[in-house]
Each structure stands twice: as structure tokens, then as C-alpha cells.
Structure 1
Amino acid sequence: MFLPPRWLQKDSFPEATTFLAAELSDQFLKLLQEVGPQSNEAILVPASQSLALRSQLRTELSRPDDFSPLVLEGMLMTTVAQAGRSLSRRHHGKPPAWLSRAKELLQDFAGAPPSIEEIAHSAGVHPAHLSREFRRQFGCTPGEYGRQIRIQQAKLHLTKTRWPLSQISLQSGFSDQAHFSRTFKRYTGSTPLEYRRSFTSQ
């Protein structure tokens, strides 16, 4: 996540966590404000993008050399700029009606998710056009968005019910508990059980 200047941040982690904070130059912040979102907006980096960034940062920090500061700065600036560009594009008008219908379809499906072809047919557009415009407007692919919806549903079940994990995995649309646990940790950084305990212990 990118936070604008003078924003305060408070985080709570359920377990030992490595936290990396970086301050960007005034020149870059000024440029970002000119071409991207307003200075009072936070920028959330999409999960697909942040996973790659974490891997690159871990590799660079584990074997630093004289060029590491330059490489790290480039990584972070590029990531923030790309995320800011996606946010800026999404702010320019409402998405077309057919794209909103495609998004709603992903929110409402139960069981096996629809294919790109099925979503595109329902929206009345070509699958390639759907994929391109969905990412441009919402910052992720239809598949990534559908997975995020499932994770949000699972979070709600974990905090509002006492259902066993096997039941939550099925209710949230995952094929089995193992798949659910792997995907949940990939997107949240903690297992479903750790996530639930972090709320029940408060």
C-alpha cells in the first residue's frame, strides 16, 4: 500500500511479520500527483502485482550490492506508478453497463466460476475485449476479482460464524479445505485459522 504524505498508519499482525516501509522522494510524489490520483488518496497495490514485488524485494535484499539502492528505488517507484495509473483510469467516468454486468456476475455466482467466454457472452462482448477492459477499469483480471470475492466471503464466515474450516471452504466456493487454506494465505498472509484467532483473541 502507498500512503500519501502525512498519513498515519496503524497495523495489527497475528504473528511475527517482516514489515518494509519506504519513503519516496518529493520529486516522485509531485510527479505522481500530476499524472495520477489526488494527494489525499491511498493506493492499494493489487495482489497479483504485490506478490511479484515481494519476491523481487526479498531476492534483492538477500544479496545486496552497490546497485541495490538504485534497483530497490526503481522497483518501488514503478509499482506505485503502475498502481496509481490503474486507479486514475478507474476514476475517469463510470464503467460501461456491460462491464458492470460482468462484475455483478462474478459477485453472484455459486459453485464453479463461469468462463471468460460465458461472462463475455452474457455481457455481449468479445472475451478479449472483456479481459482487457476489466483489467483497465478494475485493476485485475476477472479471475483475480472472482477469487478476491471468495476470500472476502471467507473472511466474513471466519469472523461471524463458528463454522469449521471445511464448511467455510465449501460455502466460499473452494474445492477443498487445502485449496482454501493455500489461497487464503496467499492473499492475506495468514492461514484461515490464524485469521480467525486474531479476531477471537481481541
Structure 2
Amino acid sequence: MLSQRLLGDRLCLQLLPRAAYSARDPAQWHTLGVTLERQQGVHAIDSDRRVDFDTLPGVLAHTPVGVEVFSESDSGGEYLLLRLDEQFARQHLPSVNHRVQSLGQSQALGWARTLRRLMLDPQPDGLALEHAALQLVGQASVQSDYRTPPKAFTRVLDQIAEQFHLPLSLEQLAATYGHNELRFLRDFTRTIGLTPHAYLIEVRLQAARRMIEQTDLPLANIALDAGFAHQSHMGSAFRKHLAMTPSQYRSRF
């Protein structure tokens, strides 16, 4: 886990890696969280009643102090967490007494991905981190009600998770969704906050990161196994989203 304290310790920024976990958050801070990867597991929100969850990328969750969250997952998923002290939260967050989360927060997801890139930098830019963190805080005021996505939508995500290494087309994904390409493109982008192509690149990027972290395979092989047409395409994705080359990323492990 990467962690940065900002604005004189009034904010604490954490980048949680994809890993199995079982955790109970005592909710001593106000928190904003953004899913960078799809996560599935079981959780209990301010109660002992555990329910299954399937949280999509681009979900923004606001949990106030006093709301306890238990969460457990066999695989986890990369997650950006921002904790705010009581005084700062009162000044900048909407007043809520329960956990609020909403789908398709493209702006929040964009700032979370920016924060990920900045945090992975060996020499993080403190000013840039504080700017991006404040922009993320600002997104809490534009949250909408959470909508459970239709099962056809989760079937599309399952297809991408299983076939990301293949050259998937919009026509194939729309067929799985059960609507025409234009309707699928609109619904997907609204629900996730990314276009299908951008989401596929993110899934491939995450797969490549895991292979780099866990294997000694040549980068050219990893690029192909992750679904990139060429090693240079993987390199472009790493530089754009992580601000480093695959070789630089490998040197961290």
C-alpha cells in the first residue's frame, strides 16, 4: 500500500493494491473511495448483515465518521482511498449520516487515476497530489443515487475479464449486452465513466502490471499475453497512465 499525508495531515491518501483482504474500517475519519478495478466479495455497512457486492470501476463512495464498514474479497482490486479529518470534512464534504455511493463518476475516476499516477512516481509531486486530491473532494458534492447495473452489463464485464487478451470488438460486446452498438456505448460510458475501449486498456494494463510483479517473463511476452498488439503499445499505456515505462515499473519489485 502506498500512502501520502497531505495539507498538514488533514488528508491521508492511500493507494490499495489488488490483493485478497478482510478488513473492518472503524470509520474514525471521513473517507472518499474510488474503485479503480472491479471488486467482488462480501461486505457489511454499519451492521452485522453481510451481503455480496460487485463494485464496478468508477464508483465513488463517501463514508462519514461513525459508519463502520466490513469488507472481504478473495481477489480485491486496486482502490484509491482519501481520508479527511473532521474539521476539513465539515468544510468541504456534504453532510451525510450514512454511506453514499454512485456509479459512473467519470470525473472522480479521472482524478483517482491521476492520483495513482502521481503516487507511483518515485518522487511524488506534493503540490500536484494536493491539487488532485482537492479536485477529488469536490466530486463528492455531485454524487447521484447508486443504481444496480443490469445483469447484461455484468456479463459484458465478465467477457472482458475473460477475453481481454483477445481483439474484442464493439460489435461483440454489444451483442453480449443485447442492444445495438450505440446504445451499448452510451450505457457503458455512463455506468463506468470510461468508454469500452478505455476500460479494456485499463484491464490490460492491470493484467500486465500483475505479470510484471509476479513473473520474470520478458516484457514482449507480457505485452502479448495482456492483449497489447505490440510491446510498444504496452509501453505507451504505461507512460500515459502510470508515468513510467514497463521496465521502470519492473525495477520497483
TM-score (norm: length of structure 2): 0.50
Q: Does the alignment pair 1:116 with 2:116?
A: no
The aligned counterpart of 1:160 is 214
User: Residue type matched to 1:9 in 2?
Assistant: L
Structure 1 residues 30 and 180, CA, compared in 2 at 3 Å: closer, same or farther? closer
Calculate the aligned-residue CA RMSD, in Å: 4.0
Q: Does the alignment pair 1:189 with 2:243?
A: yes
The aligned counterpart of 2:148 is 94
Unaligned 5+ segments in structure 2 are 1-5, 16-87, 102-106, 119-130
- Secondary structure at the residue paired with 1:119? helix
The aligned counterpart of 1:15 is none
Q: Deviations over 1:109-161 (max 9, x none)?
A: 15443221221112211222211221222111111111111001101110100
The aligned counterpart of 2:13 is 9
Residue pair 1:45, 1:83 contacting (<8 A) in 2 also:
no
Q: Does the alignment pair 1:45 with 2:109?
A: yes
User: Residue type matched to 2:110 in 1?
Assistant: P
Q: Match for 1:180 among 202, 226, 234?
A: 234
The aligned counterpart of 1:69 is none
Residue pair 1:116, 1:127 contacting (<8 A) in 2 also:
yes
User: Residue type matched to 2:237 in 1?
Assistant: T
Task: Flag the structure with higher strand content.
Answer: 2
User: Residue type matched to 2:12 in 1?
Assistant: L
Structure 1 residues 38 and 10, CA, compared in 2 at 3 Å: closer, same or farther? same
C-alpha displacement at 1:7, in angstroms?
Answer: 3.5
Q: Deviations over 1:6-58 (max 9, x none)?
A: 442368xxxxxxxxxxxxx9797245x67xx859xxx953279859xx9xxxx
Map 1:69-108 to 2 at 5 A.
81=138, 85=142, 88-89=143-144, 92-108=146-162
Structure 1 residues 150 and 47, CA, compared in 2 at 3 Å: closer, same or farther? farther
What CA distance in whole angstroms lies between the structure 1 residues aligned with 2:175 and 2:216? Answer: 39
C-alpha displacement at 1:81, in angstroms?
Answer: 4.7
Residue pair 1:158, 1:168 contacting (<8 A) in 2 also:
yes
Residue pair 2:164, 2:227 contacting (<8 A) in 1 also:
yes
Q: Deviations over 1:51-109 (max 9, x none)?
A: 9xx9xxxxxxxxxxxxxxxxxx9x99777656874xx44x6132101111111111111
What CA distance in whole angstroms lies between the structure 1 residues aligned with 2:251 and 2:10? Answer: 32
Q: Match for 1:29 among 92, 112, 124?
A: 92
Q: How many residues align?
A: 158
Identity %: 25
Unaligned 5+ segments in structure 1 are 12-24, 55-72
Structure 1 residues 115 and 6, CA, compared in 2 at 3 Å: closer, same or farther? same
What CA distance in whole angstroms lies between the structure 1 residues aligned with 2:150 and 2:227? Answer: 28
Larger Rg: 1
TM-score (norm: length of structure 1): 0.61
What CA distance in whole angstroms lies between the structure 2 residues aligned with 1:7 and 1:76? Answer: 9
